[in-house]
Amino acid sequence: MVDNPGGSQVSAEVNAAWAIAKKDMFIYYIKPNIIVSGLLFPLFMFLAFASGKNVPLGTLIPGLISVTLLFSSSTIEPVSIPIERRTKTFERLISAPVSLHAIVFGESLSGFMYSIGIALAPLLVGIFAFGTGIPHPLYLIAGMLLTALCFSTMGTLFAAYPTESPGDIMSMLNLVRLPLIFVSGTFIALETMPPVGKAISYLSPLTYGNDLIQAAYGHPAYFSPFLDIVMLLLFFFIFQFIAHRLYTKFNE
């Protein structure tokens, strides 16, 4: 039997997760429904909001980055996993000698990388078209990485629902993603929200991701960057845990 003699189970898990992410990159990044949902949808959302606001467009860049991260990171798995259930390639993943955590993480990793790539577009547009400065670049890096990680894991979590149709998962996911835009301070500042709206916003990971990105651009932050980072990590681990439980349950 061939095995990697020097490799521990940890390296096996990491290798498998990376292999799954690479496979998704080759196959799914250029699928039309991924491009529509991950790239065009946040762009049109931005234009819809921007057209009704009498503020310099550059100031809306952090919100656009946040919304782009939300949509692009959570789009790959809800498309790829149902398709792989239909073609039975998902069986190949869940019967491999790696843990479900590695599979969930590998699937999320592809959404994560896709999302970072897509979010560079509004970032660069902000810098070169509007001259938007970034006084705290480390906050921006942390905010983008953690927000993408959080929502790609959320996408994997939703994709646990045992269906072979991406549309079924996208419908459920949009029931969550669309309201998040309105309650997370992306285009409507948290300070202007009624108390109920604020209370709901605390339950949204996008609130903390957007807050950290706004802080990076020197905009007033609602929470401390430290709290934003802790909350994003907390949401990531919760999503990872629930996703693991759901994949275990639905494979029975």
Partner 1 sequence: MDAITVQNLTKRFSDLVAVDNVSFTVRSGEVFGYLGPNGAGKTTTIRILTGITAPTGGSARIFGLDIVSDTIRARRQMGIVYETSNVYDDLTAWQNIMFAGELYNVGKQERERRGKELLEVFGLWERRKDRVHGYSKGMKRRLTLAMGLINDPKLLFLDEPTSGLDVQSNLIIRDVLHDLTNRGVTVFLTTHNIEEANVTCDRVAIINKGRIAAIDSPERLKKTIQSVQSIEVAFEKGIAKVLADLPGLPAANEIRKEGDKVRIYTDDPATLLEEIMEYARVHQNRVVSATTRGPTLEDVFIHLTGLSTQVKGGDKDGR
Residues contributing to the site for partner 1 (CB under 8 A): 1-7, 9, 11-12, 15-16, 18-20, 22-23, 26-27, 87-89, 91-99, 251-252
d(CA 152, CA 205): 12
Query: What's the min distance (Å) between Cβ of 148 and partner 1?
Result: 23
Four-point Cα dihedral 87, 79, 103, 210, nearest 10: 180
Residue closer to partner 1 by CB (options 4, 54) is 4
Residue closer to partner 1 by CB (options 91, 176) is 91
Residue closer to partner 1 by CB (options 87, 224) is 87
Four-point Cα dihedral 175, 48, 42, 176, nearest 10: -10
Residue closer to partner 1 by CB (options 12, 127) is 12
Query: What's the min distance (Å) between Cβ of 68 and partner 1?
Result: 25
d(CA 137, CA 180): 25
Query: What's the min distance (Å) between Cβ of 37 and partner 1?
Result: 19
Which string of DSSP letters, residue by residue, matches 115-178? Answer: HHHHHHHHHHHHHHHS----S-HHHHHHHHHHHHHHHHHHHHHHTTS--S-HHHHHHHHHHHHH
Element counts in the chain: helices (H) and strands (E): 12, 0
Query: What's the min distance (Å) between Cβ of 5 and partner 1?
Result: 8
Residue closer to partner 1 by CB (options 1, 55) is 1
Question: 114: Cβ–Cβ under 8 A, 6 or more apart, which residues?
Answer: 25, 29, 34, 38, 72, 73, 75, 76
Residue closer to partner 1 by CB (options 21, 173) is 21
Query: What's the min distance (Å) between Cβ of 14 and partner 1?
Result: 10
Query: What's the min distance (Å) between Cβ of 236 and partner 1?
Result: 24
